[in-house]
Amino acid sequence: MTDYTLRAIVFFAVLIALIVWQRYSPRSTLRKWKTRWRHNLLLFTSGILVVRIIQPVLLSVVAYSFHDGLLTYIAAPSLLATLIGIVLLDLIIYWQHRAFHTIPIFWRLHRVHHTDPELDISSALRFHPLEILVSLIIKSFAIVLLGIPALSVLIFDILLNAASLFNHTNARLPARIEKMVRLFIVTPDHHRIHHSRNNQEANSNYAFFLSLWDRLFQSYTHSAQYGDHQLSIGLPHTKQYEPNSVVSLFTMPFWTKSRTSKEVKED
């Protein structure tokens, strides 16, 4: 079984399990899920094509340009090296996510993800293909420069995909369980705050898997300002229910500031 096949099997197994969970234990009622799912699946498919086409060439170029990474010079048992690699990758994803919110050219790509006016498992698939490409470049250089073991990369990719699906699921854990789980990993309630239309809340809770990064780097918000039940999802100054066509989602990173305001401003 190839690594790609293993990733795909785990991804779709987790996807199906979480779809069942949010179907029978929904957190909120979704109004336009059919349109959203169609848009999000199209973005997801385009992202897969980017990865499948670019990744082999990119990894070859990066590996040729750089040789021994940092971890190759550290004498550590293979299990410890694998665990260190996983933690380092999660830390990189945390800072990458913050960068996509703070660097304007990256935000142009990432805001497509945040235009989703509702949150469910399909939101985890809603990334512009150019954001997928930039993320792939960052991760590839990090893996080679740090010398992260191949097993770490495989395990982390599986964990990250599963965590992203879990974090966006439209379902709620029992309060007592959620409180305990959130101490270690990001939960749907933790990540939901990051999708708030309130800028202060949206610029917090950047972690994807290990929740400690938000506490460690002071980007943690425990609960929404007006309560989780009143939290509004999406970008500020956008229509509550998605006006975007498929074309607008793919072209949004290239809009001028004036056009962005005109196209998505509230009536």
- Under DSSP, is residue 84 helix (H, G, I), strand (E, B) or coil? helix
Structure tokens at 186: 């990001």
Stated pTM of the model = 0.87
| pLDDT of 265 over the 60 cut | no
Judged on CB neighbours under 10 Å (0-12, 13-18, 19+), 149 is: buried
Instruction: Evaluate whether 146 touches 70 at the Cβ level (below 8 Å).
Output: yes
177 neighbors 216 (Cβ within 8 angstroms): no
| Residue 241: predicted pLDDT | 39
Residue 207 burial (10 A CB sphere; 0-12, 13-18, 19+)? buried
At residue 239, the pLDDT reads 54
The span from the CA of 129 to the CA of 132, in Å, is 5
Banded model confidence at residue 162, pLDDT cuts 50, 70, 90: very high
pLDDT at 61 exceeding the cut of 70? no
Contact call for residues 151 and 108 (beta carbons, < 8 A): no
Band (pLDDT 50/70/90 cuts) for residue 87 is very high
Burial annotation 78-102 (CB, 10 A radius, 16+ → b, else e):
eeebbebbbbbbbbbbbebbbebbe
